[in-house]
């Protein structure tokens, strides 16, 4: 009996040893890659593939969620246009009232997530017009073609500003409120209320301070006496504070969204014939008046170009000029490009592609897009190959990223 038991133990040991050797041989067939090498491969993946790669294994998850990796991926990411369109609902009538929180299985509602995070319970869900629900989408440009991308996110409010892949949404669950969100990761956070003002008498800017490493929301609003007031929200501190606004009369209207470049937010103060821009130095929180090289007309805009401030303007010869300002102080505007072919008077410059450097225009008359390639000096009409966009929608320059504003438990995963 003892010899039989010993024989069984020996066989079990031999089998275990052979199994260990086999696994070791299989492991030896897979070459070892250093963490930096894996990171260098992952950072080149498209964002959707990168999102799936997070769950391959724990080491990959840790790499992709590392702040340095996220910043490196942001630097390699191309610009897109983010916009909202009327949310498609399963209803035969355009004005059908639907529950505010109802969604298709694959679509996430911003308001539903806020409702869950606030632990609010509706005995009866509020009803809204089906046409007042929006889908958040983006438009990307590749090889002279454009494609509509889906986040599968719905909301009730408009997008007020963007920065590094984060967006500011109107919070329709709270009058005058805002929601901070990354539409890629679907993290969101309601922001504290600032000063209430009518939409046509206010403007929101959104910027990142490289000095302090925090995100800031800037709110300009006009009071009953016509003065422009300014308050700033540091996202990390979660409180608004007032600073001195621009001088009286500098800002005539808030029709153009501000642009962030060279460490400041910039506003064009008039719809037509603006000879200067109003700039807020984000770190020092001081307003400045910067003269433009030429008077800005109705189809001219300021854009961010490779980190610098660009001014794209139409001249009398039906040509488009691009001027560059590299700093707030001690620098002058330099005319960098003249586009002499393919120009149309109502071409409005929207943004410059971060990686390729091409300039994207949108015609005011029919909403068609054009891209100018500076290397080839060619203006090309963009072909829409996937999806469609409303002609009158508001587009904001954006970049899809994994950026987060903080690492606290105040964020809500969707």
pLDDT tens-digit readout, 233-249 = 999 888 899 999 999 99
Contact 379, 341 (CB under 8 A): yes
Residues 62-97 have pLDDT tens digits of 888 888 888 888 998 999 999 998 755 555 544 554
Backbone angles phi, psi at 11, to 5 degrees: -65, -40
- Structure confidence at residue 27 as a pLDDT band (50, 70, 90): very low
Stretch 249-277: mean pLDDT = 93
Burial class (CB in 10 A: 0-12, 13-18, 19+), 270: middle
Q: Where are the domains of the chain?
A: 21-77
What is the per-residue pLDDT for 408?
Answer: 39
| Residue 144 pLDDT exceeds 90 | no
CB atoms within 10 A of CB 235: 18
Would you place residue 230 in the very low, low, confident or very high pLDDT band (cuts 50, 70, 90)? very high
69, 71, 72: which is closest to 54 by C-alpha?
A: 69
- Identify the pLDDT of residue 5: 64
**Cα distance between residue 138 and residue 184, in whole Å:** 11
Share of the chain above pLDDT 90, in %: 52
pLDDT at site 113: 84
8 Å CB contact between 264 and 282 = yes
Cα–Cα distance, 189 to 177 (Å, whole number): 11
**Least confident among 205-219, 251-265, 279-293, 397-411:** 397-411
97-106, 169-178, 185-194, 204-213: segment of lowest average pLDDT:
97-106
CA distance 290 to 263: 14
Average pLDDT over residues 359-378: 93
Most confident of 15-19, 207-211, 243-247: 243-247
pLDDT at 411 over 50: no
CA 11 remoteness from chain centre: 63
Reported confidence tier of residue 3, pLDDT bands at 50, 70, 90: low
For 295-314, the pLDDT digits (tens) are 999 999 999 999 999 999 99
Q: Is 140 exposed, middle or buried (0-12, 13-18, 19+ CB in 10 A)?
A: middle
Please give the pLDDT value at position 14.
75
Q: Are strands 145-155 and 383-386 parallel, antiparallel or unpaired?
A: parallel
- Mean pLDDT over 170-189 rounds to 92
Lowest mean pLDDT among 32-36, 124-128, 169-173, 277-281: 124-128
Percent of the chain exceeding pLDDT 70 equals 83
Residue that is written with structure tokens 């964020």 in the block: 411
pLDDT at 372 over 70: yes
Identify how many contiguous H helices and E strands the chain contains and give both numbers: 6, 28
Which pair of structure tokens corresponds to residue 310?
């660009």
Burial of 287 (0-12, 13-18, 19+ CB in 10 A): buried
| Host H or E run for residue 116 | helix 110-117
- Return the bridge partners of 323, or none: 311, 335
> Looking at residues 241-263, what average pLDDT do you find?
93
Mean pLDDT of 121-142: 70
User: E strands within 143-176?
Assistant: 145-155, 159-163, 166-171
Question: Is the per-residue pLDDT at 410 higher than 50?
Answer: no
């Amino acid at each position: 009996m003892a010899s039989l038991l010993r024989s069984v133990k020996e066989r079990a040991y031999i089998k275990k040893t052979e199994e260990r050797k086999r696994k070791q041989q299989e492991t030896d067939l897979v070459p070892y890659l250093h963490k930096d090498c894996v990171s260098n491969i992952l950072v080149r993946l498209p964002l959707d593939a990168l999102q799936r790669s997070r769950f391959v294994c724990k080491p990959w998850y840790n790499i992709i969620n590392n702040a340095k990796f996220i910043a490196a991926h942001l630097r390699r990411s191309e610009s897109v246009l983010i916009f909202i369109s009327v949310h498609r609902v399963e209803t035969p009538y355009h004005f059908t009232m639907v529950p505010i929180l109802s969604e298709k299985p694959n679509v996430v509602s911003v308001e539903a997530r806020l409702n869950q995070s606030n632990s609010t319970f509706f005995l009866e869900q509020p009803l809204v017009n089906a046409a007042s629900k929006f889908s958040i989408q983006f438009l990307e440009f590749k090889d002279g073609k454009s494609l509509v991308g889906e986040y599968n996110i719905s909301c009730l409010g408009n997008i007020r500003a963007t920065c590094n892949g984060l967006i500011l949404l109107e919070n329709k669950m709270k009058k005058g409120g805002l929601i901070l969100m990354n539409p890629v990761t679907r993290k969101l956070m309601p922001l504290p209320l600032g000063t209430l003002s009518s939409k046509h008498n206010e403007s929101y800017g959104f910027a990142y301070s490289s000095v302090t490493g925090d995100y800031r929301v800037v709110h300009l609003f006009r009071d009953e006496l016509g003065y422009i007031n300014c308050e700033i929200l540091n996202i990390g501190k979660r409180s608004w504070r007032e600073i001195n606004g621009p001088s009286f009369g500098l800002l005539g209207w808030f029709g153009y969204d501000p642009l962030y470049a060279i460490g400041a937010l910039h506003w064009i103060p008039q719809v037509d014939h603006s000879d200067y821009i109003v700039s807020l130095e984000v770190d020092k929180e001081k307003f400045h008046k910067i003269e433009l090289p030429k008077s800005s007309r109705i189809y001219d805009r300021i854009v961010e170009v490779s980190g610098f401030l660009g001014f794209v303007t139409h001249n009398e010869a039906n040509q488009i000029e691009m001027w560059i300002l590299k700093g707030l102080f001690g620098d002058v505007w330099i005319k960098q490009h003249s586009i002499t072919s393919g120009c149309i008077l109502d071409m409005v410059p929207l943004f410059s592609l971060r990686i390729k450097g091409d300039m994207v225009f949108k015609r005011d008359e029919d909403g068609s897009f054009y891209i100018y390639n500076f290397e080839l000096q060619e203006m090309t009409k963009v072909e829409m190959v996937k999806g469609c966009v409303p002609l009158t929608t508001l587009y904001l320059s954006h970049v899809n990223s994994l950026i987060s504003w903080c690492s606290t438990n105040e964020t809500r995963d969707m």
